Amino acid sequence: MAKFILRKAEPKDVSDILRLIKELAKFEEMEEQVKLTEKGYTVIAFAMYYFTYDPWIGKLLYLEDFYVMQQYRGLGIGSKILQVLSEVMKTRCSSMHFIVAENNTKSIEFYKHRGATDLSYEEGWRLFAINKMELVKMSGK
Amino acid sequence: MEHQVELTERGEFIYYLSHTDNLHSRPVWTFSTTWCCVAELLEDGFGETPCYHCVIAEVNDVQVVGFAMYYLTYDPWVGKQLYLEEFYVMAEYRGLGIGSEVLRYLSDLAMKLRCTGIMFVVAENNEPSMQFYKRRGAEDLSEGEGWRLFRFDKDSLVKMAAPSEE
């Protein structure tokens, strides 16, 4: 089992985070949509999360990005990250939400294996977005 | 009789001055639901670190008839987003432009806060809402890009939090 530690990100990690964000985007084949810019490493995985709110149940943990570099997969790192996040949840969060691309069968399996529910399938939720251009149109009225 | 529709900002503690210059505020807990109790909503929205913000639509200075609940999220590809969690106008007050005005208000706010977009989920069988949003330029990312919303409930999280035998 490879030796690794998990720790909270610090300001000095920002360039590594961006590198991994881009790698993840490449994996999801949406690299050209990454608009935030920049660029020897010991950081090989990350999870980006924040707290959201569902007025029906309260505070939630939202998992925004979750990535382990290819050559470091299968070593239990992903599981360990999820374990740490589950611990974080003890601060009054009832649930963790995240989105997965429907063609990302490996990830879907990873999450379902650990008890995740596909809410889009079970409850019919669709994710919508209004982009900046449309917002400018609306706010200008 | 003409309805006066006014928007009041809650989460940022900005109080709306009515036409007669009376300072007043409508507590958000008129929208308390059976799922989250008033005390939780109060602490979560108006405590030290608010988990959400609300904008209220008020009629005739006395009645709250619509609201939107939102908070800021982050998309590492493009930055800050305004996430629209709840958006509701009472049935008898629809078709008056309240919904449009709320969205316009949120768009303006999103611009001020340097958000690159507004995100939200819609139930796939809620055709009127989907049309309402699509008419204003919203994109269905589940259809267009295949995104599916997933959840780990408390039981799964408790299981994951337990140390694994290795």
B52 touches chain A (CB under 8 A): yes
pLDDT of residue B162 exceeding 90, the answer is no
Which domain CATH number covers B139? Answer: 3.40.630.30
What average pLDDT does range A112-129 have in this prediction? 89
Verify whether the Cβ–Cβ distance B140 to A128 is below 8 Å. Answer: yes
The contacts of residue B19 (CB under 8 Å, 6+ apart) are: none
Answer yes or no: is A112 within a domain: no
Using DSSP's 3-state secondary structure scheme, residue A10 falls into coil
* pLDDT, tens only, B4-57: 333 444 433 333 333 333 334 333 333 333 345 777 888 888 888 899 999 989
Among the partner-chain residues A51, A100, A101, the one whose CB lies closest to the CB of B51 is: A51
Around Cβ A141, how many Cβ atoms within 10 Å? 10
Whole-complex ipTM: 0.75
Verify whether the Cβ–Cβ distance A52 to B36 is below 8 Å. Answer: no
Using DSSP's 3-state secondary structure scheme, residue A60 falls into strand
Which domain CATH number covers A22? Answer: 3.40.630.30
pLDDT attached to residue B60? 84
pLDDT of residue A39 exceeding 50, the answer is no
Residue A73: domain span? 11-30+39-102
Number of separate domains in chain B: 1
Answer yes or no: is B149 within a domain: yes
Answer yes or no: is A117 within a domain: no
Per-residue pLDDT band at A29 (split at 50, 70, 90):
low
Answer yes or no: is A20 within a domain: yes
pLDDT of residue A140 exceeding 70, the answer is yes
In the structure encoding, which two tokens stand for residue A75, read together?
A: 């070593």
Answer yes or no: is B71 within a domain: yes
Answer yes or no: is B24 within a domain: no
Evaluate whether A102 touches B124 at the Cβ level (below 8 Å).
Answer: no
Tell me which chain B residues have a C-beta less than 8 angstroms from the C-beta of A141: 104
Number of separate domains in chain A: 1
Residue B101: domain span? 5-14+32-161
Q: Which of A50, A53, A111, A121 is catalytic?
A: A111
Answer yes or no: is A3 within a domain: no
Answer yes or no: is B60 within a domain: yes
Verify whether the Cβ–Cβ distance B36 to A65 is below 8 Å. Answer: no
Evaluate whether B73 touches B81 at the Cβ level (below 8 Å).
Answer: yes
Please give the DSSP secondary-structure letter assigned to residue A31: G
- Write a three-state SS string for chain B: CCCCEEEEECCCCCCCECCCCCECCCCHHHHCCCCCCHHHHHHHHHCCCCCCEEEEEEECCCEEEEEEEEEEEEECCCEEEEEEEEEEECHHHCCCCHHHHHHHHHHHHHHHCCCCEEEEEEECCCHHHHHHHHHCCCEEHHHHHCEEEEEECHHHHHHHHCCCCC
Answer yes or no: is B26 within a domain: no
Q: Which of A80-84, A104-108, B60-64 has the lowest mean pLDDT?
A: B60-64
Name the nearest CA neighbour of A70 among A61, A78, A60, A81. A78
End-to-end CA distance of chain B: 73
* pLDDT, tens only, A48-80: 999 999 888 888 999 999 999 888 888 899 998
pLDDT attached to residue B73? 95
In one letter, which amino acid is A95? S
